[in-house]
Structure 1
Amino acid sequence: MVRTVFRVLGALGLVLMVGVVAHVGAGYTTAEVSSDAMRPTYAPGDRVLLERTEAGAVRRGDVVLQRTAGRYGGLAVIQRVVGVGGDRVAQEPGEPVTVNGKPLQEPYVNDGDPSGTTAPAYDVVVPEGRLFLLGDHRANSNDSRFFLDDRSGTVPEGAVLARAFDDRSGLVGAGLTALLGLVLVLGALAAEITGRRRHPVR
């Protein structure tokens, strides 16, 4: 009877471990930063943890991993969402970015410079279902500002593969669940071994 209980608990532990692995594998990914375009938020070599997201779930201010056909040699890049569908995004060299006529507060930009020495002036309305993206290191980011002749530099929402996130409580909970599953599996194995030693098969 006791061994049966431990076997059930062991099976439950295995289910928990497999479930956590499947959940994390399906819901999260990582990407390595390869350029200075997102300094100081991310530096080259940093590995960014991202959660997979659906089109339409991205919000202004999110840092996203996106891949757009015809840009960056087909590689996925990390950039920040500055404008979403319907937003009017504008900027003059040396001035802050404005969204719908209001200066955007951007404490994350490199050296406090929201423009960058090579940035062209722009004034665009983001089409519905698309995003206007910038790097945090504006002087060293090949972002939406440099593709203005292609749908005002915007990318489709569907180009977003995942977004960075700071709240890791969900992953901590998943880790604890996996640990519980491991304890149950190990407990079941120990009980099985002990039971066989006490009652050897003849």
Structure 2
Amino acid sequence: MGEKPERKRRPFWQELPLLLVVALVLTVLVKTFLVQVFSIPSDSMQNTLQPGDRVAVDKLTPWFGAEPERGEVVVFRDPSDWLAGQPTSRPNVVQDVLSQIGLMPSADARNLIKRVIGIGGDTVECRRGGPVTVNGKALQEPYLYPGNTPCDDKPFGPLKVPAHTIWVMGDHRQDSLDSRWHMDDPKTHGFVPVDDVVGRAVAVVWPVGRWATLPVPKTFDQPGIGDQRPAA
């Protein structure tokens, strides 16, 4: 009986286009469903995040129905022209291609990044000269920008956070047009719909010297803060 002839392997240069297509498809899938890198455009989250930082955002968890939690840093789509009047940069061709496959943040995306302070069912408040409180529990906020007050520039509350929305604030409290500055908006009243949340920022990935994770601060785990359960 004759031996089966050995299958001739293709030269690498012939396989390269297929490998590139597979890599491109995998990259797009990761960007769409798992993790995407976003660029920090402003000072509003200093010193936790600096302008120009790249953060990795977990986009997978929301697919399983999980909603944002207190203390998380989240990226969300502009819910009601919060970015009106703010310029966006014009990407060149290379930037546009790289952003489409997830290797570079989109230069013209209308996204914001803030810290979740209250979730659906919470009561949030901050009086001039006092701390931010959630369900009557005062937050200790070591992440605040040095010299900032919790809310002296824009006190608020008490406010009940509607179901399936979040109340967000920047860490650079006196340089953040966050939920407090949109309380008069007839559409959102300052609350961000959970459906507009892209995902949770989990780590600073660039520049290399600023690599760090973004954990939930311990103040959001204090006893009693979650006694008032989120509204259904």
Q: Same fold (TM over 0.5)?
A: yes
- Give the one of 70, 74, 94 matched to 1:64: 74
How far apart, CA to CA, are the structure 1 residues paired with 2:149 and 2:195? Answer: 26
Structure 2 unmatched ranges of 5 or more: 1-5, 10-14, 86-109, 206-232
Identity %: 36
- Give the one of 16, 21, 29 matched to 2:27: 21
Give the structure, 1 or 2, with the largest relative contact order (CA under 8 Å, sep 6 or more). Answer: 1
Deviations 1:48-74 (A, max 9, x none): 221215264311111111121332129
CA displacement at 1:34 relative to structure 2: 1.6
Change (3 A) 1:24 1:114: farther
Structure 1 unmatched ranges of 5 or more: 5-9, 169-202
How far apart, CA to CA, are the structure 2 residues paired with 1:36 and 1:43? Answer: 6
Q: How many residue pairs were aligned?
A: 165
Q: Does 1:36 align with 2:43?
A: yes
Higher helix share: 1
Runs ≥4 residues deviating over 6 A: none
How far apart, CA to CA, are the structure 1 residues paired with 2:163 and 2:149? Answer: 25
Deviations 1:136-174 (A, max 9, x none): 011111000111234441110011112201399xxxxxx
* TM-score for the superposition, normalised by structure 2: 0.60
RMSD (CA atoms) = 3.0
How far apart, CA to CA, are the structure 1 residues paired with 2:81 and 2:54? Answer: 25
- Give the one of 64, 87, 90 matched to 2:125: 90
Answer with 1 or 2: which has the greater Rg. Answer: 1
What corresponds to 1:111 in structure 2?
146
What corresponds to 1:141 in structure 2?
176
* TM-score for the superposition, normalised by structure 1: 0.68
Say if 2:122 and 2:134, in contact at 8 Å, map to a contact too.
yes
